[in-house]
Chain A
Amino acid sequence: MLIRRFDLPLDNDAVSRFLPWIIAFMVYLAILALAGTLVLGAMAARWDTGMRGSLTVQIPPAPATGAAGNGKAAKRDALKIKQALEILRASPAVARAEPIGERQVLALLEPWLGDMGNAKDLPLPHLIDVELKPGAPLDVALLSKNLAKAVPGAAVDDHKAWLKRLIRLVRTFTALATAVVILIGFATIGTVVFATRTGLAIHQEVIEVLHHIGAQDSYIAGQFANHAMTLGLKGGLFGLLMAVPTLLGISALADQLDDNLLPSIVIAPEHWAALAGMPIAAALIAMVTARYTVTRSLSKML
């Protein structure tokens, strides 16, 4: 039951003035940490799903000497690619296998090596992009062995090694950010407990009168809980208002980075919805904590 009338003059004490500010800063920090968690989580998931269904096969270029040798080497390389493609396409787990053109390979290297023009002198490996059928079992070791037998020097890269390390790092950051959100939650609870106990001490006389005229603990606790909820909501909304420009600023800065080096940091609409729920969460935490604190304290009274 929502008690709108406050028989206790809770609005007039100092606690009511500082509590919304503390909650505002807590919510501000929690929103930043939560935004980090959500963005990193989404990033890891994108990498995971994007990479898990693909392989890259590398075929080392044949050595060439002189102009005539170049032509022969190109023919040998084309044959190697053809053999490798045959083996790959014969595998039931492979959905698609296509060679990556030289231009594309150069484009992939551009962020690290810059514009290299034709780069004819650079012994670039030939790459085959392999798309796997979702859910189909594939023995990567066996495939590597068969490819190496047919095409000496061919290597299969399933991205697992570096992807695992990257995802582990991202997940560590996510866990840390989640821990920060939880710690902020506990700090908020502690603050509300302290504020409520102070309120109980300040208004002890009024509470005694309410008891003597037959007020139940739930009636008094309801007054504290509704008041704490109002303060929590006020503080939470202010914290959200402070956090939105901060997040937009971080997002704008991240957008200026090179796309090829880092996936774009995007706060999806569902992430915004979760962040907007923080003031409500703060209000609910404040309300439940205040009710529990008051009920527990009153139960020790006569």
Chain B
Amino acid sequence: MAADKNGCVARFENVGLRYGLGAEVLRDVSLELEQGSFNFLIGSSGAGKSSLLKLMYMALKPTRGMITLFGHEIATAHRKELIGLRRRVGVVFQEFRLLRHLSAFDNVALPLRVAGVKESEIREHVIELLTWVGLKDHLATRPPTLSGGQQQRVAIARAIISRPKLLLADEPTGNVDDRMALRLMHLFEEMNKLGATVVIATHNETLVNRLGHSCMRLDAGQLDFVETPVSGLSGGPANAGGFDAGWGRTDD
């Protein structure tokens, strides 16, 4: 099941989160992510964006409130159930979190391998995706010898290789220039067109305004919904196709 009966992939109801005995970093957060929606999450550093994403990819459990993902309540879900749910979620971590001892190919192949996909199928898919993100010549290269932008693309490829239903990205444009940032956003729009619900945490409000998707703002742990102009450079996801040709020419 990709969404609940109301078409929601994720539902937060009065969610609060605190680390240890500290103050609440998220307070009374309520939201619904519709299936196939594209959402930005903005806010200043320390506003709680990463914490909110961590709740979405089940790295944390809320200290109060209720979270429902794909129709399953997280607080009461069994560990094995959570593993099944995690396979539907693709995450681009802020610091990439690539496995340094594995090649770009093996990093991208990892989600398929843990899911038990046959090696012959894995090879075909991974090469296709790494070619798509312009890293065909770096299949055997390990992350420490890749540039920041290349590592970011490997991380994105790893997040989308298993066609997640929910794609989360934490500051995916943090380490790249504006041109690269826009290309990455087009990639996420492409995934969105393929049916993934996308949430991107960023502090780059210029980019958010240019692309014009729905937007949530976190301010001191509290969530507001922000209207954004529907304009942008690309004119929305419908015009996102064909951007991949640019990846091959982009080498940081």
Could you tell me which A residues sit within 8 Å of B by CB distance?
A: 5, 7, 9, 12, 205-206, 208-217, 219, 299, 302
- Most chain B CB neighbours (cut-off 10 Å) among A214, A219, A299, A302: A214
* B residues 62-114 touching A (CB-CB < 8 Å): 79-80, 82-84, 86-87, 91, 97, 99-102, 106, 110-111, 113-114
Could you tell me which B residues sit within 8 Å of A by CB distance?
A: 57-61, 79-80, 82-84, 86-87, 91, 97, 99-102, 106, 110-111, 113-115, 158, 162
**Given A210-B114, A214-B111, A214-B115, A7 contacting B158 (CB threshold 8 A):** no
**Residue on A nearest B114 in the bound complex, by CB:** A215
Are A213 and B114 in contact, with the CB atoms below 8 A? yes
Q: How far apart are the CA atoms of A299 and B80 in the complex, in Å?
A: 10
**Given A212-B86, A214-B86, A299 contacting B79 (CB threshold 8 A):** yes
Are A212 and B57 in contact, with the CB atoms below 8 A? yes
CB distance from B12 to the nearest CB of A (A): 17
Are B113 and A214 in contact, with the CB atoms below 8 A? no
CB distance from A297 to the nearest CB of B (A): 13
What residues on B are CB-neighbors of A7 within 8 Å?
99, 102, 106, 110, 113
Q: What would be 18 A-B contacts, judged by CB atoms less than 8 Å apart?
A: A7-B113, A9-B101, A12-B101, A205-B97, A211-B83, A211-B86, A212-B57, A212-B86, A213-B111, A214-B111, A214-B115, A215-B83, A217-B79, A217-B83, A219-B114, A302-B59, A302-B60, A302-B61
A-B contacts besides A208-B97, A214-B115, 13 pairs, CB < 8 Å: A7-B102, A9-B99, A9-B101, A209-B99, A210-B110, A211-B86, A212-B91, A214-B83, A214-B87, A214-B114, A214-B162, A302-B59, A302-B60
What residues on A are CB-neighbors of B79 within 8 Å?
217, 299
What residues on A are CB-neighbors of B84 within 8 Å?
214
CB distance from A204 to the nearest CB of B (A): 12
Are A208 and B59 in contact, with the CB atoms below 8 A? yes
CB distance from B213 to the nearest CB of A (A): 24
